[in-house]
Amino acid sequence: MNQRDELMEHIPRLRRYARALIHNRELADDLVQDTLERALGRLHQFEAGTDLRAWLFTVMHNVFASQTRRAASRAHYVEADEQQLGQAEFAVPGGQLRSLEMRDLDYALQRLPAEQREVVLLVGLEEMSYADVALTLGVPIGTVMSRLSRGRERLRNLMAGAQPVEKLKVVR
């Protein structure tokens, strides 16, 4: 199997990650498309025998980061000001439909700073080791762990309908 075929086999996973990262289906696939195009253009830079998945997610991270910077004013990439979040927005009364919980997950994820969202998803969804996440994002492993710890705790609070601001102090 050559590298391009191998690359194609990662598309479903890239799409899954992008969908969770951006939520909007079209924009998520845009991200995948940009990633694939860039990756194909730079396939010669990929060292055979190293981890293609980590490399692809690195390419995606770079594309995403530059898009986030460029389109800082666009709603889909904007980080929400957590002060604006009312408790009622996230309160999920018991016995609600499962789909509501799922929609809340989309919403709550978008409330995380992008750098925390990336780590929470690479670990939770992509099941990468912390070392691989560090490699993918180009940050020290300690940074990965602190982003994960803050991001996941915040996600938990958002899902639980708690006031995020108050509890975040504990995590620090």
Partner 1 sequence: MTGKTNPIGDEVLHAYVDGMLSDEERAHVDQAIARDPALAARVNDYFALNTLLRERYDRVLGEPVPKRLRPAALQRRRSTANWPWFAGLAAALLIGIGIGAEGGMRLGYERTPSVAGSNETGALLADASRTFARRAAIAHVVYMPTVERPSQLGASHEQDFVRWLSAKLGTDIHPPILLRGGYELMGGRLLHDADGEMAMFMYRDAQGRRVTLSISHRKASADTTAFALYRDGPVNVFYWVDGDFGYAISSGIDRPALLALSHDVHEQLRSRPSAAKQPSPG
Give me the residues that bind partner 1 (CB under 8 A), please: 1-2, 4-6, 8-13, 15-17, 19-20, 29, 32-33, 36-37, 40-41, 101-102, 105-106, 120-121, 123-125, 127, 129-130, 145-146, 148-149, 152-153, 155-156, 159-160, 171
- Which single residue is written with the structure tokens 């995948």? 32
Shortest reach from residue 72's CB to partner 1, in Å: 25
Using the minimum distance from each CB to partner 1, give the nearer residue, 61 or 147: 147
Grouping H, G, I as helix, E, B as strand and the rest as coil, residue 42 is: coil
Distance, CA of 18 to CA of 27 (rounded, Å) = 9
Distance, CA of 3 to CA of 6 (rounded, Å) = 5
Shortest reach from residue 121's CB to partner 1, in Å: 7
Shortest reach from residue 79's CB to partner 1, in Å: 19
Using the minimum distance from each CB to partner 1, give the nearer residue, 123 or 135: 123
Shortest reach from residue 80's CB to partner 1, in Å: 19
What's the alpha-carbon Rg for the chain, to the nearest Å? Answer: 17
Backbone angles phi, psi at 43, to 5 degrees: -60, -30
Q: Find out whether 24 and 14 touch, Cβ atoms under 8 Å.
A: no
Using the minimum distance from each CB to partner 1, give the nearer residue, 69 or 162: 162
Distance, CA of 135 to CA of 141 (rounded, Å) = 8
